[in-house]
Amino acid sequence: MTSVPHSIPHWIGGREDVGTGPRVGTVYHPARGTAQRTVQLADHADVDRTVAVATAAFATWGRSSLSTRVPILFAFRELVLKHADALAQIISSEHGKVLADARGEVQRGLEVIEFACGIPHLLKGEYSDTVSLGTDSFSIRQPLGVVVGITPFNFPAMVPMWMFPIAIAAGNCFVLKPSERDPSVSVRLGQLWKEAGLPDGVFNVVHGDVDTVNRLLEHPDVAAVSFVGSTPVARHVHETASRHGKRVQALGGAKNHMVVMPDAALDVAADAAVNAAFGSAGQRCMAISVVVAVGDAADRLVPRIAERVRAITVGSGDDPSADMGPLVTAAARDRVLSCIEDGVQAGATLVTDGRGVTVSGYEDGFFVGPCLFDHVTDTMRIYHEEIFGPVLCVVRVASLDAAIALVNSSPFANGVAVFTADGATARRFVHDIEVGMVGINVPIPVPMAYHSFGGWKSSLFGDMHVHGPEGVRFYTRAKVVTARWPEAVATGKDLAFPSVR
Ligand code: NAD
């Protein structure tokens, strides 16, 4: 079965599964503003059954050879590539983002699958020959068992694909709890895994809400939890799963700054700020939400940004002429509108006002047009709260020192960028800024799949970032072996602590 079903089922043990729980959630078509499907919400029995299925699958998959796993990963990569446009359509219809943006998300996920295809190299251990006479020492990395991914609505394909290709390649079995707001694409990915030859039970999807998540966090047979979402939930997930003895990485929210120096190429900076702020209607964890204009940069930069903002076309995700789609739900739209109103009341200058935008044929859609605020200060709610919508704030500061101090005072520390023509300024910025991912004349510094992705402070709880080398370490545990073979000489009785001879 390849089409998206009307009521979205779980994907358990290699097949669609409606579960036992009576609860369902509503999935909207954000551009139309109407409900389009329901989604099953797993109860505890559904979660327990899914973890049991994954545990049973691990008995075989966890012992499978690298030469068994790698061809399946290559086959999955081919299928995701073949179906990339169809996957993008599913994403766009439930999230609302424009198709080109959704296709880009699939591409970034593909890059992690490609990285995971190299798992034999990534899992190579270390070997020390003759650590003692006749004795060698080596290390191997082994899978953890059943691992869980809990993911947000804003990248329903890419964020899960940050996790499961590496987890599965390393020999784990995976349970995905995607966002209940745009869950269909995860089931489709399950179907593609099956077509690629993945044994049943290695990749599973349980839909659900808070209750479902909490059962997963407490389940005794879950070894590790990867979470991506808002900061309060990330903190809760980190604390709860840690308390239950699990390895956890919990990525939280963001408020990303883009510092623009007076010497920057301002047309380039204006393009970057607009693309990074309003792509996906600002619903990206790496979106730029604050431009910090240094010295006299603002007077020259703000008109350039405003001109570009006025040229943005808002429309349905499947309209090729649209640059930006709607927000994901009515609640998200209303929250963003309340933030904008708050900014106006607080005295910021609303240079372009996206409120009241309507899209012909989609009058009930969850649209908010792009908004640009100037003269924002760090005491305003629009400055310190993550808005997660198409709102860009400009803060004016006197110096690079003031810009760095402002960025470093934020509790969020996901991404940051500096725009400058001066190498020394960029170098100093990189050293002094307290943020996990830094761009130099690059507004959205998302690392490639072979590096790891993660912020600092309230943008990530846990020790390890996702994908790349840290992803491999997260989904495996090290074992160090010290081996002596028969040619070793018997030493007789010696109860002293072993030492090198
Ligand atoms: P969210 O925190 O509301 O939901 C994320 C996941 O947690 C979903 O699967 C949801 O079902 C579940 N969940 C929600 N509330 C919960 C609760 N109280 N207890 C347990 N589970 C709960 O996030 P969202 O609105 O889906 O996504 C947007 C957020 O994700 C933004 O804050 C954004 O910055 C963040 N995000 C961060 C990154 C990153 O890399 N740091 C990437 C993408 C998104």
pLDDT at 499 over 90: no
Atom index in ligand 1 nearest the CA of residue 178 equals 9
pLDDT value at position 494? 82
The one catalytic residue in 173, 285, 339, 371 is: 285
How far, in Å, is the centroid of ligand 1 from the Cα of 194? 27
Distances in Å between the alpha carbon of 225 and those of 71, 146, 240, 463? 26, 9, 10, 13
pLDDT value at position 498? 74
Q: Where are the beta strands (DSSP E) in 58-210?
A: 127-132, 135-143, 146-150, 173-177, 203-205
Q: What mean pLDDT do residues 127-140 have? A: 94
pLDDT at 470 over 90: yes
pLDDT value at position 4? 45
What is the per-residue pLDDT across 208-244, written as a single tens digit (0 to 9) for each?
999 999 999 999 999 999 999 999 999 999 999 999 9
Contact 394, 376 (CB under 8 A): yes
Sign of CA dihedral 44, 46, 49, 51: negative
End-to-end CA distance of the chain: 64
How far, in Å, is the centroid of ligand 1 from the Cα of 132? 51
Backbone angles phi, psi at 193, to 5 degrees: -60, -45
The SS3 assignment for 94 reads helix
DSSP string across 387-406: --SSEEEEEEESSHHHHHHH
Rounded to an integer, what distance in angstroms lies between the CA atom of residue 298 and that of residue 276?
Answer: 18
CB-based burial label for 285 (10 Å; 0-12, 13-18, 19+): buried
pLDDT value at position 489? 65
| Cα angle: 332, vertex 291, 378; to 5 degrees | 75
Ligand 1 neighbour 154 (Cβ under 6 A): yes
Rounded to an integer, what distance in angstroms lies between the CA atom of residue 389 and that of residue 279?
Answer: 10
Residues 6+ away with beta carbon under 8 Å from 194: 14, 200
Backbone angles phi, psi at 207, to 5 degrees: -85, 155
Crossing angle of helices 84-95 and 184-196, in 10° steps, is 160
For residue 174 the two structure tokens come to 């995976």
* Per-residue b or e along 341-358, where b marks 16 or more CB atoms closer than 10 Å to that residue's CB: eebeeeebebbbebeebe
- Pocket of ligand 1, candidates 28, 41, 153: which has the most ligand atoms within 8 Å of its Cβ, to mutate? 153
Tally helices (H) and strands (E) across the chain. 16, 23
Ligand 1 neighbour 285 (Cβ under 6 A): yes
pLDDT value at position 487? 65
Contact 327, 28 (CB under 8 A): no
pLDDT value at position 488? 58
Closest C-alpha to ligand 1, atom 43: 285
Rounded to an integer, what distance in angstroms lies between the CA atom of residue 193 and that of residue 75?
Answer: 8
Reported as a pLDDT band with limits 50, 70 and 90, residue 1 is: very low
Atom index in ligand 1 nearest the CA of residue 460 equals 41
CB-based burial label for 399 (10 Å; 0-12, 13-18, 19+): exposed
How far, in Å, is the centroid of ligand 1 from the Cα of 137? 43
pLDDT at 408 over 80: yes
Ligand 1 neighbour 362 (Cβ under 6 A): no
Rounded to an integer, what distance in angstroms lies between the CA atom of residue 213 and that of residue 209?
Answer: 6
How far, in Å, is the centroid of ligand 1 from the Cα of 225? 14
Rounded to an integer, what distance in angstroms lies between the CA atom of residue 190 and that of residue 202?
Answer: 10
pLDDT value at position 238? 98
What is the per-residue pLDDT across 304-329, written as a single tens digit (0 to 9) for each?
999 999 999 999 999 999 999 999 99
What is the per-residue pLDDT across 67-105, written as a single tens digit (0 to 9) for each?
999 999 999 999 999 999 999 999 999 999 999 999 999
- Pocket of ligand 1, candidates 95, 158, 285: which has the most ligand atoms within 8 Å of its Cβ, to mutate? 285
Contact 314, 357 (CB under 8 A): yes
Backbone angles phi, psi at 184, to 5 degrees: -65, -35
pLDDT at 490 over 80: no
Sequence-ordered alpha helix ranges (H) in 141-284:
158-169, 184-196, 210-218, 231-243, 266-278
pTM above 0.85, yes or no: yes
Closest C-alpha to ligand 1, atom 27: 152
Ligand 1 neighbour 318 (Cβ under 6 A): no
Reported as a pLDDT band with limits 50, 70 and 90, residue 196 is: very high
Percentage of the residues of the chain whose pLDDT score is greater than 90: 94
What is the per-residue pLDDT across 272-309, written as a single tens digit (0 to 9) for each?
999 999 999 999 999 999 999 999 999 999 999 999 99
pLDDT value at position 3? 46
Reported as a pLDDT band with limits 50, 70 and 90, residue 21 is: confident
Q: Is 285 a catalytic residue?
A: yes
Rounded to an integer, what distance in angstroms lies between the CA atom of residue 46 and that of residue 481?
Answer: 39
Ligand 1 neighbour 444 (Cβ under 6 A): no
For residue 310 the two structure tokens come to 């006025």
Rounded to an integer, what distance in angstroms lies between the CA atom of residue 456 and that of residue 159?
Answer: 18
CB-based burial label for 232 (10 Å; 0-12, 13-18, 19+): exposed
Contact 325, 96 (CB under 8 A): yes
Crossing angle of helices 84-95 and 99-116, in 10° steps, is 130
pLDDT value at position 427? 98
